[in-house]
């Protein structure tokens, strides 16, 4: 058996602790699969977590992860600090600059600086591996780069944030609104005290930017991702979605169009029987559509100690075995810039919920506005009669340009019978 792969780990939070446990509990199995031992040689964190102390006994402890990253006593650095800037970025840059491979779960770092880091890794002939940055324990990047490499992809999409999926599932199952279920998710540890990165779609956007780059062979472009979160989704919308045969999911989607690539993270209505319609709770799912393989579906846990640690250690096994590939599937200088499909030109069907005063002629006025923008109504729902009272008016449309829906939103504001801002949710055919 050849010399061990000496590992330095930066960050001993939830995922870091999981990596330490996998390396310890599966020591013999990992050595067999990698062809040599995987040895944790050094660690750095703000403090030594008491539960991990017995497992870290005898390894080199560094007060500064940036110094550890350049140590001659390690071969690969595992960065689990998080964040696109600061120490996390410096650790990775120091390691690559010193000719050491890097494994990271840091989706924000890769989404913002992945191309520059990949270029350094290729120049130094070392690995930059980030399987754990997208969909946790689901090996989707490896699948796109390797198992499905013969395909030209038309579309990749999925549920990439377990927190949002848990909240939307809870809203559907209990009939409660967003705020109540968010508070429950925070209490159970599924949502952070400051949940903005998750519920406003930023976490999923980082992951989608990486996913699109690997799938389409283009540079990572976070700015090209149109991002909407789930704060405005109501229990009323979820109930009407169910009546219409849909579920609401925070969908991350990248697809080719005639004009470029559409990249968006937005709440969508999807058929309950669709590949992602049945994915509930904290689970993630990713669907890739290739021209030869057709549709492939991947589902599993997208976050947490054990699934993410599983992905990190899988990257370490590849490095130990000498299976080093280009981080984004092709040499970074061959990534091809593909135009961004403007949001206004993107097409979809839509669900609309209008709170209107129940009086004759309101539906006709709304229909006139839609017709003026060339939008065809597919379904109308209005329950009961409450003359003079505010009631929900539900419509779904046939496919139209988003620009037309944006104009409609403004025009509806001039209708006196419409008492609140309308709710618009895309309907995706998957």
Q: Which two tokens stand for residue 426?
A: 């895309």
Q: Which two tokens stand for residue 52?
A: 């991990």
Specify the 3-state DSSP secondary structure of 255: strand
Torsion over CA of 317, 75, 13 and 139, rounded to 10 degrees? Answer: -30
Specify the 3-state DSSP secondary structure of 241: helix
Specify the 3-state DSSP secondary structure of 286: strand
Known catalytic residues? 207
Neighbours of 385 (CB within 10 A): 8
User: Could you give the CA distance from residue 188 to residue 185 in angstroms, rounded to a whole number?
Assistant: 5
Helix (H) or strand (E) holding 201: none
Q: Which two tokens stand for residue 398?
A: 């046939």
User: Could you give the CA distance from residue 129 to residue 418 in angstroms, rounded to a whole number?
Assistant: 52
Maximum separation of any 2 CA atoms in the chain, in Å: 83
Residues 6+ apart with CB under 8 A from 259: 339, 341, 342, 345
User: Could you give the CA distance from residue 159 to residue 285 in angstroms, rounded to a whole number?
Assistant: 5
Q: Which two tokens stand for residue 104?
A: 């990271």
The residues facing 288 across adjacent strands are 156, 296
From the list 3, 13, 14, the residue with the least C-alpha distance to 41 is: 3
């Amino acid at each position: 058996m050849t010399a061990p792969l000496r590992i330095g780990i930066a960050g001993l939070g939830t995922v870091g602790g999981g990596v330490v446990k996998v390396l310890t509990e599966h020591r013999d199995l990992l050595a067999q699969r990698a062809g040599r031992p995987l040895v944790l040689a050094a660690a750095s964190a703000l403090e030594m977590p008491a539960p991990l102390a017995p497992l870290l006994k005898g390894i080199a402890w560094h007060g500064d992860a940036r110094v550890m990253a350049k140590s001659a006593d390690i071969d690969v650095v595992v960065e689990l600090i998080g964040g696109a800037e600061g120490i996390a970025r410096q650790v990775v840059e120091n390691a690559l600059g010193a000719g050491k491979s890097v494994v990271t779960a840091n989706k924000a770092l890769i989404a913002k600086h992945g191309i520059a880091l990949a270029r350094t890794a290729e120049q130094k002939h070392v690995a930059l591996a980030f399987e754990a940055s997208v969909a946790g324990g689901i090996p989707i990047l490896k699948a796109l780069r390797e198992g499905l490499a013969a395909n030209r992809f038309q579309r990749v999409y999925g549920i990439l944030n377990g927190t949002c999926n848990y909240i939307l599932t809870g809203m559907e199952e209990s009939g409660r609104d967003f705020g109540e279920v968010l508070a429950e998710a925070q209490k159970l540890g599924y949502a952070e005290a400051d949940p903005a990165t998750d519920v406003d779609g930023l976490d999923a956007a980082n992951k989608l930017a990486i996913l699109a780059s690997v799938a389409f062979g283009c540079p990572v472009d976070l700015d090209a991702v149109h991002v909407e979160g789930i704060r405005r989704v109501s229990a009323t919308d979820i109930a009407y979605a169910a009546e219409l045969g849909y579920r609401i999911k925070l969908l991350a989607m990248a697809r080719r169009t005639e004009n470029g690539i559409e990249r968006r993270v937005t709440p969508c209505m999807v058929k309950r029987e669709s590949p992602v319609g049945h994915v509930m709770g904290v689970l993630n799912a990713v669907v890739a559509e290739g021209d030869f393989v057709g549709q492939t579906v991947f589902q599993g846990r997208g976050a947490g100690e054990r699934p993410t640690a599983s992905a990190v250690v899988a990257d370490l096994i590849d490095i130990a075995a000498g299976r080093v590939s280009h981080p984004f599937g092709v040499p970074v200088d061959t990534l091809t810039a593909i135009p961004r499909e403007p949001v206004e030109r993107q097409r979809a069907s839509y669900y609309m919920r209008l709170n209107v005063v129940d009086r004759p002629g309101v539906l006709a006025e709304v229909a006139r506005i839609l017709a003026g923008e060339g939008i065809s109504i597919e379904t109308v729902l209005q329950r009961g009669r409450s003359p003079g009272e505010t009631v929900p008016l539900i419509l779904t449309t046939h496919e139209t340009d988003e620009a037309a829906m944006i104009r409609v939103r403004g025009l509806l504001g001039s209708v006196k019978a419409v008492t609140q801002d309308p709710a618009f949710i895309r309907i995706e055919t998957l």
